Amino acid sequence: MPMNSYITNALSDFFFKYETPRQVLVRNRRVGVVCRLIQLGVLAYIIGWVFIYEKGYQSTDTAVSSVFTKMKGVGYTNVDGEERVWDMVDYVFPEQGDSSFVVMTNYIITKGQKMGKCPELTEPRYLCNSDSDCERGIIERTGHGHMTGKCVGNTTKTCEVVAWCPVEDDHAIPDPALLMSAENYTLFIKNSVTFPAYGVKRSNLVEGIDNQYIKSCVYDPTTSPLCPIFRLGDLVQLSGFNFATIAKVGGAIGIVIDWTCNLDYDQSECKPVYTFHGLYGNPNEIDMARASVGYNFRYAKHYMEDKQEKRTLLKVFGIRFDIIVRSVARKFDIIPTLTAIGSGVGIFGVATVVCDLILLYLLPKREFYNNMKFKVTETVEQVSLSF
């Protein structure tokens, strides 16, 4: 056949025909009801769960997020008659308002350390009787300095070290915590989220929050859930901790800002939800065997005195705050919708298979239905006869 006619025939064969599967229509009440119920059940699952509950018709995006913080409040101590005030410059580490910071609630202070030689602490591992017990040049794993090889001291002798002297003695943690006044500090959180896929920008200073509101509001989960000012005592309580305990040895609290937004609605409905989590177990029950209770670090203020470099060492116990932003925005999108429909049709096919099984293997008249459903082919000769 000439090429033209061949192509024309092929095209008309393709375009002008349509195949549709032949089907057996079974009029049986029991089978009909059972199978329709199975099909309706599958349909209800697809529409109800996949589409409505799990929102299978929407695409999702996570946010690019930025968090700034600011502490306000003043602490007051009166130790050995020395009155002292601690403002945010003194008790927040680091100072520039990161999403992760520590508020000092207790401390052990060692003033006026200078580089020199002095005895180690009177702990079992540093005890000695003579110089031979102290090996020169050794640095103990958790020691304070570089051993000189001498054994010094009067009543209790310990190895001498080159270190910042006098060596810090951190056995006695002040109880109650020195800065219990931290309970009244306030934390201001400013959080900006952007969902790039949808071009949506939101801030936790939602519509209705202005300078006047911020000056006086305090966060409360029921009465003012959108106020971005949090009282420290409330934060600790909402995390399940006891303030006195966490203030003494320190602890860690996670503040999760959750943005779950359905962008098929108005943008102003996209608001943050704050939740508070104690991290690393509950320091209310101080189990001395448990590993690593509390939170602390060391910090020093350097200065010169009489042309000598000196420092004041602080072992800081405090509450570590980690502000974590969780975000998911959903919006109607044709792709996940059609994918869900496609999978749904596939699952519907399973319903058909189940009903077929009932029809072909379980019913009394199954032989009959088998014959209706299947046309068996034997050899060509046999079939041509019965055809």
The annotation places the binding site for ATP at 70-72, 186, 296-298, 315
Q: Which is nearer to its own copies, 198 or 280 (CB)?
A: 280
SS3 call for 267:
helix
Q: Are 323 and 70 in contact (CB under 8 A)?
A: no
Compare residues 289 and 385 and give the one whose CB is closer to its own copies.
Answer: 289
Q: Which residues pair with 230 in a beta bridge?
A: 187
* 266 vs 305 by CB, closer to its own copies: 305
Closest CB 163 distance from its own copies, rounded Å: 5
- Cα angle value 185/189/190 (rounded, 5°): 150
| 76 or 332: CB nearest its own copies | 76
Scored b (16 or more CB within 10 A) or e, 217-255 reads eebeeeeeebbbbbbbebbbebbebebebbbbbbbbbbb
Shortest distance, CB of residue 243 to its own copies, whole angstroms? 17
Residue pair 259/272 in contact (Cβ under 8 Å)? The answer is: yes
Residue ranges of the annotated binding site are 70-72, 186, 296-298, 315
Q: Which is nearer to its own copies, 334 or 362 (CB)?
A: 334
The pair phi, psi for residue 310, each rounded to 5°, is -130, 170
The 3-state DSSP class for residue 254 equals strand
> What gap in Å lies between CA 257 and CA 259, rounded to an integer?
7
State the nearest-atom distance from the C-beta of 155 to its own copies, in Å: 26
Give the count of beta carbons closer than 10 Å to the beta carbon of residue 107.
21
CB of 2 to its own copies, least distance (A): 23
Nearer to its own copies, 267 or 343 (CB): 343
Distance from C-alpha of 153 to C-alpha of 160, rounded to nearest angstrom: 9
DSSP per residue, 67-114: EEEEEE--EEEEETTEEEEE-HHHHEESTT--SEEEEEEEEEEEEEEE
Q: How far is the CB of 50 from its own copies (least distance, A)?
A: 7
Q: Minimum CB separation from its own copies for residue 276, in Å?
A: 12
